[in-house]
Amino acid sequence: MNAGITITKDNFKEEVLESSVPVLIDFWAVWCGPCKMMSPFIDELAGEYEGRIKFGKVNVDEENELAGLHGIVSIPTFVLYKDGAAVNMKIGAAPKHDIEAFFKNFI
């Protein structure tokens, strides 16, 4: 998992809520096969949209409190934040173009 900032409860406010650009958070876990499948797509999108959207990753095993606050019950789950508020959510693995469509109208 190369792309994206590691989001924790300690940096959530600064990196997500106070971000000047939209933030796509990927809730994932090391043991999750579909999460591993999504990683290359997220890496590619992070490069393609650098400066226009920020990509963050939350390891649900390490940040279960943060995952609980977002109501995460299935992974991968993607939550899009803009102007300090969650504006979109997508659950499950999807093709790259579906992930792109998920956030494109918000940047």
Number of helices and strands in the chain (H, E): 4, 5
Question: How many C-beta atoms lie closer than 10 Å to residue 10's C-beta?
Answer: 10
Query: Which position among 3, 7, 25, 35 bears the catalytic label?
Result: 35
Query: Which position among 16, 24, 32, 66 bears the catalytic label?
Result: 32
Is 40 annotated as catalytic?
Answer: no
Is 50 annotated as catalytic?
Answer: no
Backbone phi and psi for residue 57, each to the nearest 5 degrees, phi listed first: -125, 135
Tell me the angle at which helices 33-48 and 96-104 cross, rounded to the nearest 10 degrees: 60
Q: What are the catalytic residues?
A: 32, 35
